[in-house]
Amino acid sequence: MTAPLSKLLSLLMLLLIFGSGAVAGVAFDRVVVQRKAPAGSRIDRLVGRFARRLSLDAKQQDAVRAVLLKSRAATAAARKRIEPELRVARQQARKEIAAQLDPEQRKKFQEMTARYDARRARRKATGAQAH
C-alpha cells in the first residue's frame, strides 16, 4: 500500500471512530439523560427546540414556556382524575391477554407486567410521567 493511500485510510478510520463516538454520545443523551431529567428541564429543552426551529424571540419563548407549564398542570390533574379508569382498563386487558396464554407464557407475562408496574411506580415516585 502506498503512503498517501495509507494516510487516507488512517484519516478515514479516525473520522469514522470520531463520528461513531459522537453518534453514541447523542444517542446516550437522548435515551438516558433526557428521560431522567426533571420535568422543568424537559420543558426548557422543548422551549429551546421550538425556539431553534421556529425562530422564537425571548417574549415568545416565555409565553410558550408559560403555556407548557400550565398544560403540564392541567394534564397531571386530568391524569389523576382518570387514573382509576385507566387502571381498570389495564387490569381487564391483562386478564384477557392472560386467558389467551399457556401456563408458561402466563408466568412470563405476569413477570413482564410486574416489571412494568414497578417502573411505573418508580416514575410516579420521582414525578416523571408514567405512560
Compute the half-sphere exposure of residue 78: CA atoms within 13 Å on the CB side of its CA. Answer: 7
Distance CA 58, CA 43 (A): 15
Distance CA 131, CA 84 (A): 14
- Matching residue, cell 454520545: 25
**Type of residue numbered 116:** Y
Distance CA 61, CA 91 (A): 41
Check residue 31 and give its pLDDT.
Answer: 66
Structure-block grid coordinates of residue 61 = 419563548
For residue 101, give every residue at least 6 positions away whose Cβ sits within 8 Å of its Cβ, in sequence order, or none. 109
Does position 8 have pLDDT exceeding 80, yes or no? yes
The DSSP secondary-structure symbol of 99 reads: H
Quickly state the pLDDT bin for 15 (edges 50, 70, 90): confident
Decide if 43 contacts 68 (C-beta within 8 A).
yes
Q: Where are the domains of the chain?
A: 33-126
Check residue 32 and give its pLDDT.
Answer: 61
For residue 129, give every residue at least 6 positions away whose Cβ sits within 8 Å of its Cβ, in sequence order, or none. 39, 123
For residue 1, give every residue at least 6 positions away whose Cβ sits within 8 Å of its Cβ, in sequence order, or none. 9
Q: What is the pLDDT of residues 26-47, one digit of tens each?
A: 777 766 655 554 556 889 999 9
